[in-house]
A = this chain, B = another copy of it.
Amino acid sequence: MDLNEIVEDVRAAMRSELGQGAVADYIPALARVPIERFGIAVTTVDGATYASGDAEEAFSIQSISKVFTLTLALNKIGDDLWKRVGKEPSGSAFNSIVQLENEAGIPRNPFINAGAIVVSDVLLDPMSGAQAIARIERFAGSLANSHAVGIDDEVARSEAETGFRNVSLANFMKGYGNIKNAVTDTLDVYFHQCAIAMSCRELARAGLFLASGGYDPVSGEPVVSAERARRINALMLSCGHYDASGDFGFRVGLPGKSGVGGGILAIAPGKASIAVWSPGLNSNGNSLVGSLALERFARATGWSIF
């Protein structure tokens, strides 16, 4: 099968799986997304895209945005970031605070909520919140090569209104001095980044630099150094799916980052960037059908990194 056939095969095979899991319901804008949606898009390092299903429909990428903000933060302050956030899987849920208390306010990795909040704090300083948010939005749009990429204000507002756990995490770290700006400002950035909306096509395009050594193979523009791109991929592999990261690596064999909106971005280094979307989540908060789709895709392509 060529890539086009594989993508269609995956879409066809997922049809009977749709409806499983549960759509995130903590905010209205996510809760009303139909659970039967499924999209997949693959962009190869030569710039070609293969897509199927609801691949043009924008969805809330949520925690997948942490990959892009991590990239920005590394470009901004380099390895100093690792003084404020770790590189290890947490062995806990995405929003756990236990680890923070045991480790003096240093989050385990930049992909759990606490770690991503620190990353937001890095991006904020010394910009204003509005500037930091605009910077993230522009970066995502530029990577996706699309003017349609933007922040869903309703989602951002809902996140802020219901995000007590994130407020708790941020204040906890502030108590340890690991948040430098006002907590409300830092969280404003964080809640907005989580509200970025993209389609699978845009998301696959946006992740392409991670599959091609850190530069955009279409434009030829550098995004991060090759070493940083590899390291971001390594973190996605070990920490990208919260306390189910090991299982994702085991079954799919590709670095990936999931979001509670049902999206997953996976990277096949040297080959392609893959985006899937299906809003039904498993008990770990990762897209149930999206994971199955990637497992089938990886088996068909033989692109497992292992």
Interface residues of A (CB under 8 A from B): 86-92, 96-102, 108-109, 164-165, 167-172, 174-175, 183, 229-231, 233-235, 237-239, 243-247, 249-251, 253, 255, 269, 304-306
Chain B residues in 8 Å Cβ range of A171: 164-165, 167-168, 171
Chain B residues in 8 Å Cβ range of A90: 91
Find out whether the CB atom of A235 lies under 8 angstroms from the CB atom of B255.
no
Find out whether the CB atom of B253 lies under 8 angstroms from the CB atom of A230.
yes
**Apart from A97-B172, A168-B171: 9 A-B pairs, beta carbons within 8 A:** A88-B243, A89-B89, A97-B168, A98-B101, A164-B175, A230-B253, A234-B249, A237-B237, A269-B306
Chain B residues in 8 Å Cβ range of A175: 164-165, 168
**How many copies of this chain does the complex contain?**
4
Q: Nearest chain B CB to A242's CB is how many angstroms away?
A: 10
A-B contact pairs, 17 of them (CB 8 A): A87-B247, A87-B250, A88-B247, A89-B91, A91-B92, A97-B97, A165-B171, A165-B175, A168-B171, A168-B172, A171-B171, A230-B306, A234-B246, A235-B249, A237-B237, A238-B245, A269-B305
| Chain B CB within 10 A, most for which of A99, A230, A233, A246 | A246
Chain B residues in 8 Å Cβ range of A99: 91
Q: How far is the CA of A273 from the CA of B254 in the complex (A)?
A: 20
Chain B residues in 8 Å Cβ range of A269: 305-306
Chain B residues in 8 Å Cβ range of A96: 101
Q: Nearest chain B CB to A285's CB is how many angstroms away?
A: 14
Chain B residues in 8 Å Cβ range of A91: 88-92, 99, 108
Q: How far is the CA of A244 from the CA of B108 in the complex (A)?
A: 11
Q: How far is the CA of A189 from the CA of B82 in the complex (A)?
A: 38
Find out whether the CB atom of A89 lies under 8 angstroms from the CB atom of B234.
no
Find out whether the CB atom of A164 lies under 8 angstroms from the CB atom of B172.
yes
Find out whether the CB atom of B238 lies under 8 angstroms from the CB atom of A253.
no
- Beta-carbon nearest neighbor of A230 in chain B: B306
Find out whether the CB atom of B306 lies under 8 angstroms from the CB atom of A89.
no
Q: Nearest chain B CB to A254's CB is how many angstroms away?
A: 10
| Chain B CB within 10 A, most for which of A102, A167, A244, A269 | A167
Q: Nearest chain B CB to A185's CB is how many angstroms away?
A: 14
Chain B residues in 8 Å Cβ range of A168: 97, 167-172, 174-175
Partner of A174, one of B164, B234, B250, B304: B164
Q: Nearest chain B CB to A74's CB is how many angstroms away?
A: 12
Find out whether the CB atom of A246 lies under 8 angstroms from the CB atom of B165.
no
Q: Nearest chain B CB to A121's CB is how many angstroms away?
A: 13
Find out whether the CB atom of A239 lies under 8 angstroms from the CB atom of B233.
no
Find out whether the CB atom of A306 lies under 8 angstroms from the CB atom of B98.
no
Partner of A246, one of B88, B164, B306: B88
Q: Nearest chain B CB to A276's CB is how many angstroms away?
A: 19
Q: How far is the CA of A235 from the CA of B250 in the complex (A)?
A: 7
Find out whether the CB atom of B255 lies under 8 angstroms from the CB atom of A306.
yes
